[in-house]
Amino acid sequence: MLFRRSKLASETSQVLQGLGLNARDVSEAGIAALERLTAELAELKEKLEAAEALADRDTLAPVFNRRAFLRELHRTMSEVERYKNPAAVIYIDLDGFKAVNDEYGHSAGDAILRHVGMLLSDSVRESDVVGRLGGDEFGVILNRATAAEAATKAQALNDKINTSAILYAGVPHRIRASVGVHPIALAEDPETALARADEAMYAEKHARRAQGQAFAGF
């Protein structure tokens, strides 16, 4: 409480300075009113930040939604353009997800999405970004990662998903995914970069199917 009062007094003092005033130029009632206004503005700011954070989250998985993911991808690509730091985007598609929903119901599918979202979030650095792109598709932005590092990380994430299991209705079920990675190029827009990663994912999926490695679901 003491810290909050001190912070409020400091913020009020800054407002007065911005107006070219100091506490001696304003009555006690005026200062009290200004402090109340400053506190209300701080509270509104906190609520706005909380609302913005909530608007960025996916409705099911504990990750960014598509809109927020594309915003972060745009930010990453701006840094790639400006500082020439390497980065990459990974596209992940869960194999046989529709069959899971059809056989076990949407609650089973929702449980899988939450599981994969948590798994991905726990498997990347704080500087990286995880988002759900829609349906059973996820994306990962790897900041400051070379093409080789991104390929290694994509394989590690793929292995982690494919070897994980989720307990649903008292029965453990395996999950399988197809993963594509695309090193971000200069002067590339976010949707194009994501489309390239998507194409890489489908190429990997088709290659597995050609080798008889298709995965039907649970």
**Spatial CA neighbour of 203 closest among 142, 165, 136, 154:** 154
Q: Is 136 a catalytic residue?
A: yes
| Residue tagged 């995880």 (tokens) | 130
Question: 91: burial class by Cβ within 10 Å (0-12, 13-18, 19+)?
Answer: buried
DSSP secondary structure letter of residue 24: G
Angle between helices 97-104 and 106-121 (to 10 degrees): 140
The DSSP H or E segment spanning 99 is helix 97-104
The active-site residue, picked from 58, 93, 128, 136, is 136
DSSP β-bridge partners for residue 131: 64, 139
Structure tokens at 198: 């998507």
Beta strands in 18-128 (DSSP E): 87-94
| Residue tagged 């390239």 (tokens) | 196
Which residues are known to be catalytic? 136
